[in-house]
Amino acid sequence: MADKANRVCVIGLGYIGLPTASILATKGYDVIGVDVQRRVVDTINRGEIHIEEPGLDLLVKSAVNSGKLKATVEPEAADVFFISVPTPLTEDKAPDLSYVEDASRALTPFLKPGNLVILESTSPPGTTDDIVAPIVAESGLTLGEDLFVAHAPERVLPGHILREAVENDRIVGGIDPRSTQAAADFYATFVGGTIFSTDARTAELAKLTENAFRDVNIAFANELSLLCSQMEVNVWELIELANRHPRVNILRPGPGVGGHCIAVDPWFIVHRAPDVTPLMATARRVNDGKPHFVVERVRQRAQRLIDPVIVCLGAAYKADVDDLRESPALEIAHALNQANLGEVLVCEPFVRQLDGLENVAVQDALKRADIVVALVPHRQFKRIDPELLKEKILIDTCGLFNTPLEHRKF
């Protein structure tokens, strides 16, 4: 069926859906992009974008101008349907699959024989088999015979989405072998990486495993930073030394783990099997506890000064992006601001305005600073003149000012 596919309907035009829709449009598919927000639909139809991602503005503009990408609020008939909607967590860390359910229901009336439905949203194991498949089967079509359903988790790194969406290897897992084959054939038309086929449940768990693996590894680095703080050891030096071992590769401690993925996905596993996943649950707690630890460190230092100026370097969730979603740096800046320890200034060069916080140019802020809290290792902070940091209290949570071991080699 994939050879004949020429019309694709992408439901959810966020960080994954919009890049995917525009890549497919530039590959020659007729793409209908669907989003429940009218504002998003209107923005895209003007050839503009509502999210930040390098290169996406030009790609969307050319896809819309060529007539190959059109956004609407309702699905339309197509050969392939993509579901790329959010899968957030509820307050008690359970997966909220209501957007997946809504999207599946919304596309069902438009299904016809030979269609392929692909769930790209990161999802708990069983979502494709137990939620998407039964809903789309209400179309009356027979699963595995004239309707194919598969999961193909997205694995792109924010900031590099356009390249990784095409170059990364992909995992596709259908609800049955024919669905897997149909999805693999379709991805082969626009993905340069290798496509690996499996079943839907394994594909779902593989994606979650990748992010849980990273979370556990970052938690180890963050735990080391707590240990080193107590023992008055330089954690950066310690990690660099340990990493000289040929089979050790410790990640970097930071102010916490942010973004939409790594801080969320391990909970999908833990929620499903809490009895056998204490390590993943603990890693989440270690990483979630890190912002609080940083705030307490700043508090201890600030309380010894009268009305200190506290400068936070960075607010984004990681280096060299403008994304503030679930950012531990932003959480710390807000907490310091509310703690009334002194005046809090934030330097976030990637963002113009920060709600409730004063965003100031680096040079101006550092001239006034008593305490400097390095939160995000943005490239441009690495060029800060050391003279500007003299006689300041420096709390470096992300190794921004660490001197690499290379400089101290015999």
Residues belonging to the active site: 207, 261
Spatial distance between the Cα atoms of 50 and 399, rounded to a whole number of angstroms: 32
Q: What part of residues 109-138 is at the interface with ligand SAJ (CB under 6 A)? A: 122
Please report how close the Cβ of residue 264 comes to ligand SAJ at its closest, in angstroms: 8
The residue to which tokens 């149909």 are assigned:
182
Name which position in 30, 210, 322, 396 contacts ligand SAJ (CB under 6 A): 210
Nearest to 18 by CA among 189, 187, 173, 161: 161
If the CB atoms of residues 115 and 121 are measured against ligand SAJ, the closer one turns out to be 121
Burial 344-367 (b: 16+ CB within 10 A, else e): bbbbbbbbeebeebebbebeebbe
Please report how close the Cβ of residue 210 comes to ligand SAJ at its closest, in angstroms: 4
Q: Which two tokens stand for residue 125?
A: 């194991």
Q: What part of residues 270-289 is at the interface with ligand SAJ (CB under 6 A)? A: none
Please report how close the Cβ of residue 126 comes to ligand SAJ at its closest, in angstroms: 18
Does position 87 interact with ligand SAJ (CB under 6 A)? The reply is: no
If the CB atoms of residues 186 and 317 are measured against ligand SAJ, the closer one turns out to be 317
Q: Which two tokens stand for residue 69?
A: 């990408």
Provide the edge-to-edge strand list for the sheet that holds 309-313. 358-359, 343-347, 309-313, 371-374, 393-396
Please report how close the Cβ of residue 375 comes to ligand SAJ at its closest, in angstroms: 10
Q: What part of residues 141-160 is at the interface with ligand SAJ (CB under 6 A)? A: 154-158
Q: What part of residues 156-195 is at the interface with ligand SAJ (CB under 6 A)? A: 156-158
Q: How far lies 237's CA from each of 9, 293, 353, 373, 375, in Å?
A: 51, 20, 35, 19, 18
If the CB atoms of residues 68 and 155 are measured against ligand SAJ, the closer one turns out to be 155
Spatial distance between the Cα atoms of 228 and 215, rounded to a whole number of angstroms: 20
Q: Are strands 358-359 and 195-199 parallel, antiparallel or unpaired?
A: unpaired
The beta strand positions in 267-308, using DSSP E, are none
Nearest to 94 by CA among 257, 270, 212, 286: 270
Tell me which DSSP letter residue 138 carries: T
If the CB atoms of residues 22 and 211 are measured against ligand SAJ, the closer one turns out to be 211
Using CB under 6 A as the binding criterion, the count of chain residues that bind ligand SAJ stands at 20
Q: What part of residues 305-334 is at the interface with ligand SAJ (CB under 6 A)? A: 317-318
Spatial distance between the Cα atoms of 380 and 313, rounded to a whole number of angstroms: 11
Tell me which DSSP letter residue 305 carries: S
Please report how close the Cβ of residue 298 comes to ligand SAJ at its closest, in angstroms: 18
Neighbours of 65 (CB within 10 A): 10
Name which position in 20, 121, 211, 277 contacts ligand SAJ (CB under 6 A): 211
If the CB atoms of residues 201 and 207 are measured against ligand SAJ, the closer one turns out to be 207
Please report how close the Cβ of residue 288 comes to ligand SAJ at its closest, in angstroms: 12
Q: What part of residues 239-268 is at the interface with ligand SAJ (CB under 6 A)? A: 251-252, 254, 257-259, 261-262
Q: Which two tokens stand for residue 241?
A: 């030394």
If the CB atoms of residues 239 and 372 are measured against ligand SAJ, the closer one turns out to be 239
Q: Which two tokens stand for residue 70?
A: 């059109």
For the chain, helix (H) and strand (E) counts, in that order, are 14, 13
Please report how close the Cβ of residue 260 comes to ligand SAJ at its closest, in angstroms: 7
If the CB atoms of residues 41 and 269 are measured against ligand SAJ, the closer one turns out to be 269
108 and 146 in contact (C-beta within 8 Å)?
no
Please report how close the Cβ of residue 287 comes to ligand SAJ at its closest, in angstroms: 8
Residues near 199 by Cβ (< 8 Å), separated by ≥ 6?
A: 173, 174, 175, 180
If the CB atoms of residues 147 and 156 are measured against ligand SAJ, the closer one turns out to be 156
> Where on the chain is the footprint of ligand SAJ (CB under 6 A)?
122, 154-158, 210-211, 214, 218, 251-252, 254, 257-259, 261-262, 317-318
